[in-house]
Structure 1
Amino acid sequence: MAGMATSSQVKFCLYAWGANSYGQLGQGHVEDLPLPQLSDTTALKARAPCSLSGGGGHSVVIADNGAVFVCGQNNKGQLGLGHTTDVYNLELCPGLRQKIIAVSCGWDFTLVLSDNGHILACGSNSFGQLGVGETVRHSSSWLIVEGIKEPVVSAAAGLRHSLAVTASGFVYQWGTGLLSHTRKYFTVDTVPSHLRSKVPCLVPGLGEKVPCLVATGSAHCLYLTENGDLFMWGGNKHGQLISSEPFVPSPISLKRCLLGGEKITNVWSGWTHTVVQTESGRVFTWGRGNYGQLGRVISANQNSELLSHDPVTEGGYQEACLPAEVKVLSGATQVACGSEHNLALVGSCLLSWGWNEHGMCGDGSHIDILEPSLIPRLKPLLIGCGAGHSMAVCTATTPPK
């Protein structure tokens, strides 16, 4: 991560909080924690974490030397340890022989990206989300996704599907997790290939653009180009694609006029909501907002939960389905989205908002947080979310009490 000191210069620690039914907080137990607590990072041997991700019940930490450390639920082999036993403290993944630079966790599977542009995957393949075909039901060992023949620059794991974009700007999709959302609109034979493939399949209309990154929710997909254009497709039940259609099979672009004419520089996705940052540092959100995950208060008749079958009214888009700025997040240096909760770093402040049933917003309560709120005493260098848990890397001198 840019600006992070090397592990030889400063010591690091990992705080985690929220859902912990499978040991995904790395605390050595399975009790939920509504306040940040230190995780056991003995296995890292003082290496600096540079990437964090969590799934439905597991966590993955990438160290600055490319090593991978994991904990939590492992029933489908999603930890890549060669077995299917849950792990309550971070452990080194010994089976990876490539240097890993990024990670993205789906519900019960994991994708990692190596420094030479290869994607490796482990965990459940019930929906073809590992990208290795149909013969593998799940894998506790890391498998190379071989269907992409050029280096990958970004990969994203959704609930039960995956995305990747190559250096030349071609976007691939695999996994059949979106098929159930297409049944009202297509017959089995007419579903577009990229929505039903169990190996990497080109997404139409996106080739030869300068790539930045891909992101994905439970049923929607996002692709950001270096030029600041955002393309979106998939499920639109909660207005997360800003379209009048309940399902968008092929990519559509976001109109910049909805963001004050600015280019997008980053994008993040929860299960059913979208967060973007523009070139001036402004942060906009849209999509489902019934847990407060948009970071802004919307009236009951504008709530995206109520719009689940009709994201557009006669007078135009409802407020939850249109991008709106969350001004307190302006200038955020990092954002992380869980399934329905979020973290952000603004200056030295760590903010959280959204679903809080398991205490993943870190305020000590289990009440949903409707607007970004300060988590005191933590000043992280790096943040990450799982579906229902949160993580933050701090210097060892950070003194939360």
Structure 2
Amino acid sequence: METSSRTEFCLQSWGANSYGQLGQGHVEDQPEPRLSEIDALQHKAVRTLTGGGGHSVVITENGEVFVCGQNNRGQLGLGHISDITTLQISPSLNQRVSKVACGWEFTIFLSDSGRVLACGSNAFGQLGVGKSLSHSADLLVVESLKDPVVSVAAGLRHSLAVTVSGCVYQWGTGLCSHAKRALSPRPVPSHLSSAVPCLVPGLDHKTAHMVTAGLAHCVCLTGDGDLFLWGSNKHGQLTTTEPFLSSPALVKRSLVGGEKVVLVCSGWTHIVAQTESGRVFTWGRGDYGQLGRQTSQYAERQMTGPSAESRNTVVSLPAEVEVLCGATQIACGSEHNLAILGARLLTWGWNEHGMCGDGSQNDIFQPQLVSGVTPLLIGCGAGHSMAVITDSTQNSASTSVTSEQEH
């Protein structure tokens, strides 16, 4: 679903700011929304807001990329490794960028032509260019992805892509240690241990539509509205009692109200999905409030497995968060979330750095209003939040803001 509006706008950000990822020109955490410096963005149509472990990326409607925050591994793609505390255009991108995914210390860009570019840490092969370099401050083309790509995702230390033909590729060894513990003595499948894109098995008769990723799990949404999950299941995020799934497993549609899923996003260890009627379901880890609901079933544990991972695997099935029904945008940080419902901004989850925006550091266990913010577009980093908002007091910046959902 696409929505657009033309209005006076500004960018607000809040939460963790140790590296200047809020774009406010300093490195102090902000527990309430504050204006970011947007001189570079004046008269630009903002398309996407997102962030990684300590950096932020803004994409404009004409495909320009603006970045700020942590840059110790070159994750801003600026050709150097100095942190940036205000948004700065990425001059090395000589092509229009349509989408972006941020991992912990790396960034994956998707161009309008379907090419994938990557920068930042490559310690786990997460850039998809092999293991010959530890990091890159310059943008590298993921050459082995021959077909045009339509969706990209970045986990903590692994990456995913969907090609125009609906195939899913995975690279980065961030899931390898989890797989070794769970699968031993069986070998680790190649897609979980490759430093270049490797076809994910088990989706042969499905057409993938989009991917997203958690700390050590993967999510795929098909064009038919089915969800497939694989990777670590330590917190029950895969809706099974198995400690690890090496290949994609279908989430039964009966678990999400019998409906097709039209939108899915993921935190480090929890998942949020929205169905075709607008209902919102959450599951996975919930002890910081990131599920936005009571989690009595979270205490149920699978104790039959011999390994530590099996003993610690929880059972967490999708359950509806009724107050979120009809949300037009949802974004997940590592353990916190944002949603737009009508003209309101709602937030819930981990709040240690003030990323829920209520002025406190208390975790929020049910969606609550972020007061004084009328959001047009939202985005999350691991521990920070961002929103493009209306601002009737600003008369000099007239632009349009386009929100894209993969509905």
Could you tell me how far apart the structure 1 residues matched to 2:325 and 2:284 are? 19
Shift of 1:11: 3.4
TM-score by length of 1: 0.93
Write out aligned runs for 1:74-223 (5 A): 74-187=71-184, 190-207=187-204, 209-223=206-220
Q: Residue 303 and residue 40 in structure 1: after superposition, are their counterparts in 2 closer, same or farther (change >3 A)?
A: farther
How far apart are the structure 1 equivalents of 2:26 and 2:301?
35
Aligned residues: 389
Confirm or deny that 1:16 pairs with 2:20. no
Indicate the structure whose relative CO is greater, using CA pairs within 8 Å and at least 6 residues apart: 2
RMSD: 1.9
Any unmatched runs of 5+ in structure 2?
Answer: 304-308, 395-407
Contact 1:169 1:207 in 2 (8 A): no
Structure 1 SS opposite 2:40: helix
Deviations 1:52-91 (A, max 9, x none): 1111100000011100000000000000000000000000
Residues 224-263 of structure 1 aligned to structure 2 (within 5 Å): 224-263=221-260
How many Å separate the matches in 2 of 1:73 and 1:275?
27
Q: Which residue of 1 aligns with 2:373?
A: 378
1:291 matches 2:262: no
1-structure distance, mates of 2:323, 2:85: 36
User: CA–CA distance in 1 between the matches of 2:356 and 2:300?
Assistant: 21
Structure 1 position 302 matched with structure 2 position 298? yes
The 3 A distance-change label for structure 1 pair 231 and 311 is farther
Q: Is the contact made by 1:171 and 1:207 (CA closer than 8 Å) also made in structure 2?
A: no
The answer for the alignment partner of 2:318 in structure 1 is 323
The answer on 1:363 being equivalent to 2:358 is yes
**Residue aligning to 2:339:** 344
Quick one: structure 1 residues 276 and 304, their matched pair in 2 at CA, closer, same or farther if it must change by over 3 Å? farther
Q: How far 1:206 moved relative to its partner? A: 1.4
Deviation of 1:105 after TM superposition, in Å, equals 0.4
3-state SS of 1:302 partner: helix
Shift of 1:183: 2.2
Distance across 2 between alignment mates of 1:155 and 1:208: 20
Q: Would you say the 8 A contact 2:301–2:312 is kept in 1? A: no
Note the alpha carbon deviations across 1:348-375, whole angstroms, 9 max, x for none: 1100000000000000100000000000
Deviating more after overlay: 65-74 vs 46-55: 46-55
Question: Which of 364, 387, 395 in structure 1 is aligned with 2:390?
Answer: 395
Q: In terms of mean alpha carbon deviation, does 211-220 or 335-344 score higher? A: 211-220
Q: What are the equivalent positions in structure 2 for 1:36-51 lying under 5 Å apart? A: 36-51=33-48
Q: CA deviation at 1:208?
A: 5.2
TM-score by length of 2: 0.92
Q: Is the 8 A contact 1:169 1:206 kept in 2?
A: no
Unaligned runs of 5+ in 1: none
Secondary structure at 1:295's aligned position in 2?
Answer: coil
On the 8 A contact 1:170/1:208 being kept in 2, the answer is no
For the Cα contact (< 8 Å) 2:242–2:310, is it kept in 1?
no
Residues 108 and 124 of structure 1 are in contact (CA less than 8 Å); yes or no, is this contact kept in structure 2?
Answer: yes
Contact 2:270 2:285 in 1 (8 A): yes
What is the CA–CA distance in structure 1 between the aligned matches of 2:72 and 2:186, rounded to whole Å?
33
1:236, 1:394 → 2: CA distance?
A: 37
Q: Which digits, 9 at most, give the CA deviation of each residue in 1:240-268, with x for residues without a partner?
A: 00111000001100001111211111100
Task: Give the partner amino acid of 2:336.
Answer: H
Match of 2:400 in 1: none
Are the structure 2 counterparts of residues 259 and 176 from structure 1 closer, same or farther at C-alpha, using a change threshold of 3 Å?
same
1:189-235: CA deviation from partner (whole Å, max 9, x where unpaired): 81000000000000002135333210100000000011101111000
Which amino acid counterpart does residue 357 of structure 1 have in structure 2? Answer: E
Q: Contact (CA 8 Å) 1:378, 1:398: kept in 2 or not?
A: no
Identity, in percent, stands at: 63
Amino acid at match of 1:326: V
C-alpha distance in 2 between matches for 1:90 and 1:127: 28
In structure 2, what is the Cα distance between the partners aligned to 1:223 and 1:302? 23
- Residue 302 of structure 1 aligns with an amino acid whose one-letter code is Y
SS in 2 for 1:328: helix
